[in-house]
Amino acid sequence: MSNDFRDDAIVLHVKNWQTADKYAVCFTREHGKIRFIAYGGRYPKNVAGRLLQPFAQLSVEVTAGQRLDKLKSCELLELPQAFDFKQMAYAAVATELTAVFTEDYAPQEEVYILLKETLYLLKERNPRIVVLSFALKLLDLVGLFPQVDACVVCGKELGEEDIWFSPLQSGAICNDCHNEAGEEKFSSGTRKLLAHLKNLNFQNPAPFSVKGGELMKLETALYKFILFQTDKPLNSINFLAQMGM
């Protein structure tokens, strides 16, 4: 029985391996996250190696191995997106979040479709808002979305009032329970923005306005929440901070 399979894949991460090879992490439509070695991928005449670039959308043929899979061949599915510097920085956030929050060989086609739509939308809309929306959607798909409709301490359902958000406790805290230790104050506008971005239709996004203060508050709280979930800083998010993005 052959251990080979072919699948559509989006490249999340690529690095040099040994003397002449490449190591790649991809998210595929039918097999979830996979990791493989492209032997000889660093040779100039190796076509597969040249195609293995971050954000590339490929059809890959892979031989499953005990420790690491092996790339047999790959073909370009779509021409690579011509990202500018800012778009590329936010695309790196989307791919790193996908790599961190998904398990190897855990198929989830919704994640593949979400990432594909995100990489396309980065060229069309504000990349900062697109990736914030992507992060919320991804957390929801992998079962890590924070609790925001009820207080995580007392369980009280929350209405339209201003609340507090605790990245450490993974959700909202009512005014009676908050103690300000590491908590972010959320206005009703920030909560509405969170709900809107979580439910944003990527296939046909309607125009909407965003207040800068609410966007910054949501972004800060979400990235702190992600830090607590991963227990380590993400290179792509640190890079955004260093670049002032």
- The larger pLDDT score, comparing residue 21 to residue 233, is at 21
Fold held by 85-242: de novo design (two linked rop proteins) (1.20.1440)
Note the pTM of the prediction, 2 decimals.
Answer: 0.93
| pLDDT tens-place string over residues 32-52 | 999 999 999 999 899 899 999
Helix, strand, coil: what percent of the chain each, to 5? Answer: 35, 25, 40
Do the two domains 4-76 and 85-242 of this chain adopt the same fold? no
Contact yes or no for 40/20 (Cβ under 8 A): yes
Provide the pLDDT confidence category of residue 1 given band limits of 50, 70 and 90: very low
Which pLDDT score is estimated for 83? 93
Residue spans per domain, the chain: 4-76, 85-242
Cα separations (Å) of 152 from 1, 10, 160, 165? Answer: 50, 36, 16, 10
CATH class of 4-76: mainly beta
| pLDDT tens-place string over residues 221-245 | 999 999 999 988 899 999 988 887 7
